[in-house]
C-alpha cells in the first residue's frame, strides 16, 4: 500500500521519461537493497554499474562526511585538495596524461568530442571535421553525445544533431576504414558495448583502430563509462587489450554513487587540444565528488577489489554457462568480468527481469534480448549462488 501511494505521487510530479519498475527503494546495505515496505533484494544491477562498492562500504561514507564538513564546493577558478588527489590517482591508474572531471558520463563524452575537434582544428586551421561512431553504441543523451549514439530511434526526434557523424559496425575494422577520409578527426567506441547488449570488442578490432588512428593522426576515443573502474578485471577494459586510446571517458563507478565523470587524455591529445577558455564546468570536479573518487581508488588498492573481480569471474561465468546449458530460453552468455549478459530467446527479456524483481533479485536488460548483470564488485560466492538460485526459478 505504502509503495503504491509513493509511486502515484512520483508520477504526479516527476516527468515520465522512464517506465520505472514498481518498487521504491529506501536503503541499501552491502549487496542488498530494501524497499520502503521492508522487502530485501539482491542487487546485481548496482544502479547500472555505479555502486561498485555496494552500499556503505567501510570508510566510504566517512570520507564523504569528512569532506562535507570541510568544503562541498568551490569554483574551478581555484585549486582544491581533493581534485589534486583524485586527478593524480586517475592519471596514475590509467597511465594517461591529464584528466578533466565532469558531472556525468554524457558530459565526459562532450568533452572528449570537443577535445578531438580542437585537436584537428589546431592542426589544420579550419573546422568541419567528421567523427566515426559505432552502430548499437550508447554514449549519452545530450545533443553531442546523442549524435554519436548508434541507435536511430534515440536520435531521430532530435535531429538535426551534430553534423559529420558516420556509423560503422562494431568489431568490423573494414567498415570503419570505408568511412575514413581526410576530414575524420575522431573514432569513438565503447571498449565493451553495454546498452547495446554486452559485446566486448575483439583484440583485432581495437588494435586495428589504434593502427589506423596512428597512421592518419586521428584521435581514438574509448568510452569506459560502463566497463571501466575494475568491472572487467582491469581498472580500464582497454588495459587487457594492450591498446591505449588517445582519450578515454569514465563515469558511473568512478565515484561509486556521487555524480562524477571524467575524460582523460594522453600526452598527445592533452598537449594540442583544449586550452584555457575552451571548456569549463561549475560543479565538475568539486571537492565533494573528488573526495569520493579519491577514496574509491584508495579502497580499490587497499582491499584489492580488482583482484577479487578476477578471482570470482570464473565462478560467476560457470554459473551463467550452466544456465545456457540448462534452459532453452537462454541462448548464450557474453561478457567480461562482472559485466555479463545472457541472451534470452522465446520470451521477452523484460518479463524475466520483472519476475526476478518480484523474487528479490535486481538485474537489468540491454539491447533487445539481453539480460544484463553488472553487480557490485564486492559480491562473494554466496551472492552468486543466491542470484543463480533465484534466476533459475525465474527461467524455469
Ligand atoms: C551510462 C553511459 C553513458 C552516459 O553516462 P551518464 O552518466 O548517464 O550521462 C555513456 N556511455 C556509456 C557507455 C554508458 O554506459
- Render 190-231 in DSSP notation, one character per residue: ESEESTTT-EEPPHHHHHHHHHHHHHHT-EEEEE-TTTTTTT
> Digits of tens for pLDDT over the chain (396 positions)?
799 999 999 999 999 999 999 999 999 999 999 999 999 999 999 999 999 999 999 999 999 999 999 999 999 999 999 999 999 999 999 999 999 999 999 999 999 999 999 999 999 999 999 999 999 999 999 999 999 999 999 999 999 999 999 999 999 999 999 999 999 999 999 999 999 999 999 999 999 999 999 999 999 999 999 999 999 999 999 999 999 999 999 999 999 999 999 999 999 999 999 999 999 999 999 999 999 999 999 999 999 999 999 999 999 999 999 999 999 999 999 999 999 999 999 999 999 999 999 999 999 999 999 999 999 999 999 999 999 999 999 999
Closest to 299 in 3D by CA, of 93, 41, 101 = 93
Any ligand 1 atom below 6 A from CB of 255: no
C-alpha Rg value of the chain to the nearest Å: 21
In short, whether 194's Cβ falls inside 6 Å of ligand 1 is: yes
Between helices 287-302 and 81-94, what is the axis angle to 10°? 40
Handedness of CA 141, 348, 202, 45 (dihedral sign): positive
| Torsional class of 119: left (φ above 0), alpha (ψ -120 to 50), beta (otherwise) | alpha
pLDDT of residue 157: 97
Sequence-separated contacts (24+) of 233-236 with Cβ below 8 Å: 233/306, 233/309, 233/310, 233/313, 233/336, 233/337, 234/306, 235/93, 235/94, 235/300, 235/306, 236/93, 236/94, 236/191
Residue 207, preceding bond cis, omega within 30 degrees? no
Report whether residue 189 contacts ligand 1, using a CB cutoff of 6 Å: no
User: Quick one: cell of 67?
Assistant: 569532506
> Quick one: cell of 173?
575494422
Quote the cell numbers at residue 365.
536488460
Q: Looking at the CA of residue 224, tell me the nearest atom of ligand 1.
A: 13
For residue 42, what is the enclosing H or E element?
strand 40-43
- Take atom 6 of ligand 1 and give the residue whose Cα is closest: 105
Strand pairing of 339-344 and 330-336? antiparallel
Q: Is the CB of 190 under 6 A from ligand 1?
A: yes
Alpha carbon of 228 to ligand 1 centroid (Å): 11
Q: Determine the distance separating the centroid of ligand 1 and the alpha carbon of 358, expressed in angstroms.
A: 27
Q: How far, in Å, from the CA of 153 to the mean position of ligand 1?
A: 17
Task: Kindly give the number of the ligand 1 atom that is closest to the alpha carbon of 226.
Answer: 15
For residue 372 and ligand 1, the question of a CB distance below 6 A is answered with no
The terminus-to-terminus CA distance of the chain in angstroms comes to: 30
Which of 226, 228, 232, 372 should be mutated for ligand 1, with most atoms under 8 A from CB? 226
User: Quick check: CB of 64 below 6 Å from ligand 1?
Assistant: no
Cα distances (angstroms) measured from residue 172 to each of 184, 202, 204: 18, 9, 9
Q: What's the CA gap between 71 and 303, in Å, rounded?
A: 27
What atom in ligand 1 is closest to the CA of residue 261? 7
- Could you give the CA distance from residue 255 to residue 35 in angstroms, rounded to a whole number? 24
- Residue whose Cα lies nearest atom 10 of ligand 1: it is 139
Q: Is the CB of 226 under 6 A from ligand 1?
A: yes
Contact 140 CB / ligand 1 (< 6 Å) = yes
pLDDT of residue 1: 78
Q: Is 313 in the pocket of ligand 1 (CB under 6 A)?
A: no
- DSSP element (H, E) containing 144: helix 143-147
- What's residue 22's pLDDT? 96
Among residues 226, 361, 331, 195, the alpha carbon closest in space to that of 352 is found at 361
* Ligand 1 pocket, mutate which of 102, 103, 192, 251 (most atoms under 8 A from CB): 251
The residue whose CA is least distant from atom 5 of ligand 1 is: 105
H or E element, residue 364: strand 364-366
Q: Is 223 in the pocket of ligand 1 (CB under 6 A)?
A: yes
Ligand 1 centre from 226 Cα, in Å?
A: 7
Place of cell 577514496: 295
Ligand 1 pocket test: pick from 225, 237, 247, 262 the residue with the most ligand atoms within 8 Å of its Cβ.
225
**What is the phi-psi region of residue 71: left when phi exceeds 0, alpha when psi lies from -120 to 50, beta otherwise?**
beta
Q: How far apart are CA 366 and CA 352, in angstroms?
A: 13
Q: How far is the CA of 285 from the centre of ligand 1 (A)?
A: 17
- The values of phi and psi at residue 6, to 5°, are -60, -40
* Helix axis angle, 381-395 to 349-358, nearest 10°: 120
Contact 344, 24 (CB under 8 A): no
Amino acid at each position: 500500500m505504502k509503495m503504491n501511494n509513493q509511486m502515484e505521487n512520483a508520477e504526479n510530479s516527476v516527468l515520465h521519461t522512464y517506465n520505472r519498475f514498481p518498487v521504491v527503494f529506501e536503503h541499501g546495505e552491502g549487496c542488498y537493497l530494501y524497499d520502503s515496505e521492508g522487502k530485501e533484494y539482491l542487487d546485481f544491477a548496482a544502479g547500472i554499474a555505479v555502486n561498485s562498492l555496494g552500499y556503505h562500504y567501510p570508510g566510504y561514507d566517512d570520507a564523504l562526511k569528512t569532506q562535507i564538513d570541510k568544503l562541498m564546493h568551490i569554483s574551478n577558478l581555484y585549486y582544491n585538495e581533493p581534485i589534486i588527489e583524485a586527478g593524480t590517482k586517475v592519471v596514475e591508474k590509467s597511465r594517461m596524461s591529464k584528466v578533466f572531471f565532469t558531472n556525468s558520463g554524457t558530459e565526459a563524452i562532450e568533452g572528449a568530442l570537443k577535445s578531438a575537434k580542437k585537436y584537428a582544428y589546431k592542426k589544420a586551421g579550419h573546422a568541419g571535421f567528421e567523427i566515426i561512431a559505432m552502430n548499437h553504441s550508447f554514449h549519452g543523451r545530450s545533443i553531442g553525445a546523442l549524435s554519436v549514439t548508434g541507435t536511430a530511434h534515440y536520435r531521430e526526434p532530435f535531429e538535426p544533431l551534430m553534423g559529420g557523424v558516420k556509423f560503422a559496425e562494431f568489431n568490423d575494422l573494414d567498415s570503419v576504414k570505408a568511412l575514413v577520409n581526410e576530414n575524420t578527426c575522431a573514432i569513438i567506441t565503447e571498449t565493451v558495448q553495454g546498452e547495446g547488449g554486452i559485446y566486448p570488442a575483439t583484440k583485432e578490432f581495437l588494435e586495428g583502430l589504434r593502427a589506423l588512428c596512428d597512421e592518419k593522426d586521428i584521435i581514438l576515443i574509448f568510452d569506459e563509462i560502463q566497463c571501466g573502474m575494475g568491472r572487467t578485471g582491469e581498472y580500464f577494459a582497454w588495459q587487457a587489450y594492450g591498446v591505449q586510446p588517445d582519450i578515454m571517458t569514465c563515469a558511473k563507478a568512478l565515484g561509486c554513487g556521487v555524480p562524477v565523470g571524467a575524460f582523460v587524455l594522453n600526452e598527445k591529445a592533452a598537449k594540442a587540444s583544449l586550452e584555457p577558455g575552451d571548456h569549463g564546468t561549475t560543479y565538475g570536479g568539486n571537492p565533494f565528488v573528488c573526495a569520493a573518487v579519491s577514496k574509491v581508488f584508495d579502497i580499490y588498492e587497499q582491499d584489492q577489489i580488482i583482484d577479487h573481480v578476477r578471482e570470482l569471474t570464473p565462478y560467476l561465468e560457470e554459473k551463467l554457462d550452466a544456465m545456457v546449458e540448462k534452459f532453452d530460453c537462454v541462448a548464450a552468455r557474453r561478457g567480461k568480468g562482472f559485466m555479463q549478459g545472457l541472451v534470452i530467446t522465446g520470451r521477452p527479456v523484460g518479463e524475466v527481469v520483472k519476475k526476478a524483481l518480484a523474487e528479490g533479485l535486481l538485474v537489468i536488460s540491454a539491447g533487445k534480448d539481453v539480460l544484463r548483470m553488472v553487480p557490485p564488485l564486492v559480491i562473494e560466492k554466496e551472492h552468486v549462488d543466491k542470484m543463480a538460485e533465484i534466476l533459475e526459478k525465474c527461467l524455469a
